[in-house]
Amino acid sequence: MMHVSAIPAFDDNYIWAIQPYDGADAIIVDPGDDQPVREWLRHHDVGINAILITHHHWDHTRGLLPLLEDYPVAVYGPRISNIEGVSHPVGHGDRFSLMGDVTFTVFATPGHTLDHICFYTPGHAFVGDTLFSAGCGRMFEGSPKQFYESLQCLAELPDVTSVYCAHEYTEANVKFALAAEPTNDALRQYAEQVRALREHRLKTLPSTIGIEKAINPFLRAKSSEHFAELRRWKDQF
């Protein structure tokens, strides 16, 4: 059974470590800081098999080159970007396998940035800053239409798919979601679960596609215009 571990970094980032089985070397997703990754590897007595990069922002990439000095592995990242250290540029629809039978499909998800991609392997989606639980990333480079279509692409994944976002933003996102959908019973129940987890400083991730389709106003937007309105409101919330 696949193991996915959260490596906390900075104030609210998660770097994800994927192990196809217990004790296997890890596939590292978005290493913004190499030190917590090194500590996690030492603690688990494993190495790195490969690295996945979702987009160019520094808090997802700054630890990449330092890690490559000691772990010269394959790095998969967005083809339309020019991220130093990426050895295997990939784009929408590309597929690749790691460690024998772990196959990833790449989805282009522009919106937060133009180069943003997500990595999907059955049961697990590594979505960077495109989709957060009860929210989505800020729209720094893309258009509302692009971002809306990116979210709809992720919404088509099976409901049971675990969603691994790169930030612990859920509590703040839920407050906005409740303002946007105050009569959403599923959201109100989810808000209570999130509150209880954060009271004990426990992580709220991963979520699932099914949960997000029920509680996330951005994933539930009916059009790119509706999405744009929500995104503008959230930016000022």
Query: Tokens representing 184?
Result: 């959403």
Determine whether the annotation assigns residue 25 to a binding site: no
The helix-helix angle for 170-180 and 224-236 (nearest 10°) equals: 120
Q: What are φ and ψ of residue 107, in 5° steps?
A: -120, 130
Determine whether the annotation assigns residue 45 to a binding site: no
Active site residue 70: no
Determine whether the annotation assigns residue 57 to a binding site: yes
Determine whether the annotation assigns residue 124 to a binding site: no
Cα(77)–Cα(183) distance, rounded to whole angstroms?
40
Active site residue 92: no
Determine whether the annotation assigns residue 226 to a binding site: no
Residues 60, 115, 116, 124: which is the catalytic one?
60
Determine whether the annotation assigns residue 112 to a binding site: yes
Determine whether the annotation assigns residue 55 to a binding site: yes
Active site residue 167: yes
Active site residue 124: no
182: preceding bond cis by omega (within 30 degrees): no
Residues 25, 33, 34, 59: which is the catalytic one?
59
Residues 25, 33, 34, 55: which is the catalytic one?
55
Nearest partner of 177 among 209, 228, 217, judged by Cα: 217
Give strand ranges (E) for 129-226. 131-132, 135-136, 162-165, 207-208
Cα(36)–Cα(10) distance, rounded to whole angstroms?
9
Residues 25, 33, 56, 57: which is the catalytic one?
57
Active site residue 11: no
Where is the binding site for Zn(2+), in residues? 55, 57, 59-60, 112, 129, 167
Where is the binding site, in residues? 55, 57, 59-60, 112, 129, 167
- Would you name the residues annotated as active-site residues? 55, 57, 59-60, 112, 129, 167
